[in-house]
Amino acid sequence: MRALVLCDDTWHPAATVRQGLEPLRAQGFDFEYLEDGTAWSATRMAEFPLVILAKANITSSTVPTPWLAAESQSAFQDFLRNGNGLVVVHGGTCRYDQLPTMHSVIGGAFVRHPDQCAVTLSPKPAHPVTAGVASFTVFDEHYFMAMNDARADVFLNSLSKHGVQPAGWTRAAGAGRVCVLTPGHNREVWQHPEFQKLLLNALRWAAKMN
């Protein structure tokens, strides 16, 4: 399964995403990484059945300007209408709140996070993305989200001393599928055994492999 990975921004280096995804190559995924947002195009994205968005709306770790323009955001709707899959992880929820179409595609947007702290992730049972996943605690940024899709199926909650937030959800978008995971600031989170299970399940679900 070929997957285009959009990654690298001011706060979320591509190296962290690569270190989290590369172990999943053994599960049948062929990742192609795109770090410079200016290299993205709707045509290039359409060549892949699966996209992983782990990049804030920032061109790269060295170029702070937005990479996705308002007039381009509908490409993600078209991508999903054609039956493809989108997995959004952590930084991929950031700075899209001012792009209403993209906000709608994701189903929620990052609002804020307190200082990094212990965050417990609690999966909802009997959901395809949480199959085989137990509750676990990581040191991470606890993302607070603005949800805008009442039909989003929340399968993961995050709990810290700051409160409880939705941390994972799925939603249908035409013939396509969207899965969102909000944890993942640190390499240790991406490589945690339970998060690896969530990632693998999310990729398989969005790509309609199960």
Fold of the domain spanning 2-206: Rossmann fold (3.40.50)
Sign of the alpha-carbon torsion through 93, 97, 103, 107? positive
Write the pLDDT tens digit of every residue in 135-158: 999 999 999 999 999 899 999 999
Mean pLDDT of 74-80: 97
Domain ranges of the chain: 2-206
Contacts of 165 (CB under 8 A, 6+ apart): 142, 143, 144, 145, 157, 158, 182
Written as six digits, the tokens of 55 are 């990049």
Query: 124 near 155, Cβ under 8 Å?
Result: yes
Rounded CA separation 148/202 (Å): 20
Question: For the chain, what is the radius of gyration of the CA atoms?
Answer: 15
Q: Evaluate if residue 187 carries a pLDDT over 80.
A: yes
Closest CA to 52 of 20, 6, 114: 6
Query: Which of 168, 163, 70 shows the shortest CA–CA distance to 128?
Result: 168
Q: Give, rounded to a whole angstrom, the gap between the first and last alpha carbons of the chain.
A: 13
Residue-level pLDDT at 141: 98
Q: What is the DSSP letter of 153?
A: E
Q: Which pLDDT score, from 0 to 100, does residue 175 have?
A: 94
Strand partners, 164: 159
Share of the chain above pLDDT 70, in %: 100
What pLDDT, on the 0 to 100 scale, is given for residue 200?
98
What pLDDT does residue 163 have? 98
Task: Identify the burial level of 112 via C-beta atoms within 10 angstroms of its C-beta, where 0-12 means exposed, 13-18 middle and 19 or more buried.
Answer: exposed
**Per-residue pLDDT tens over the stretch 16-33:** 999 999 999 999 999 999
Calculate what percentage of the chain has a pLDDT beyond 90.
98
Q: What is the pLDDT of residue 19?
A: 98
Please say if the pLDDT value at position 199 is more than 90: yes
The string of pLDDT tens digits covering residues 79-138 is: 999 999 999 999 999 999 999 999 999 999 999 999 999 999 999 999 999 999 999 999
Answer yes or no: is pLDDT of 210 > 80: no
Q: Which of 53, 50, 44, 48 is nearest to 14 (CA)?
A: 53
